[in-house]
A and B are shown apart, each in its own frame.
Chain A
């Protein structure tokens, strides 16, 4: 399957949950928010959403400071 992650094309052989994909990509799951096809995908749905169910993901990695 094929989709975009932060504007870059990703090709995967096996489908997997969004959570598993994010972990494999090395994201710190405590510090990110995920947009799936233009809508936020809240953390509670990462486990039950398959990564192949969308065309495009944006992941924002928050940095500290305020």
Chain B
């Protein structure tokens, strides 16, 4: 039978997981069968993807890469090959989206921000005290290298404006709008749709405060724009912006981006 074991094609006469464990001298560790951790014995099937993860062992890079994405399932991993996402704005939304996409294994991320990390960011943005006053692009690139070193990260240290946004994003197919200001959000949608018709934009509006989680939704706007959020809760005096709702909204955006990568275009 032909299966994949730890990312390598392999022919085996084993009929089930227990026989394979004996054949491969594997005892203490984690077994992942087609994206799912199992602890029982299961029959092998043709083309199954199996990972044997030995406890306490740091695998060589290629094997590590396979193991790190083992829970994604193979179909998802195949579509992630060649995937690329631009993230405009690396605040509460953008930093959390970038980490999420790096974990799942989006191959290339273009990170765009001009700002530095300051203390009031840390109630919701994915940075550490050690990043204070660092450029957000550098701080996020560093974190991604710690989480998933197989991601290609490119950075643009610039403020996106109507005059440079199209040039900077001209080669990007999937664009994530993760700005803070309402006018910047409207600007990028208008500028990109005025100049291109083949780009997909995943935007956000309305995630301030501590209103119900269930008010945050993903909706479609036009044929290739998605807007995540409750569309009404703006940050303002006496309305805070805090990790839980911002991260819910960021997760909506990240999941919609993943869906687009996987050719699922409905919300």
Binding site for B on A (CB under 8 A): 30-33, 35, 38-40, 42-45, 58, 60-66
Contact = CB atoms under 8 A, between A and B. Distances in A.
Given A64-B235, A65-B233, A66-B92, 19 more contacts: A30-B182, A31-B185, A31-B186, A33-B225, A35-B222, A39-B222, A40-B193, A40-B221, A40-B225, A43-B194, A60-B221, A60-B231, A61-B231, A63-B229, A64-B208, A65-B207, A65-B234, A65-B246, A66-B179
Contacts, number: 87
A38 B222 CA distance: 5
28 contacts: A30-B182, A31-B185, A31-B186, A32-B186, A38-B223, A39-B223, A40-B189, A40-B193, A40-B223, A40-B225, A42-B194, A44-B194, A45-B194, A62-B182, A63-B206, A63-B231, A63-B232, A63-B235, A64-B180, A64-B181, A64-B182, A64-B235, A65-B180, A65-B206, A66-B89, A66-B94, A66-B179, A66-B204
Contacts of A35: 221-222
Chain B CB within 10 A, most for which of A31, A58, A65: A65
A65 B186 contact: no
B241 interface: yes
Given A31-B186, A33-B186, A58 B221 contact: yes
What are the 9 tightest A-B residue pairs by CB atom distance, in nearest-first order? A63-B234, A40-B222, A42-B194, A65-B235, A62-B182, A43-B190, A66-B180, A31-B182, A62-B185
B137 interface: no
Contacts of A44: 190, 194
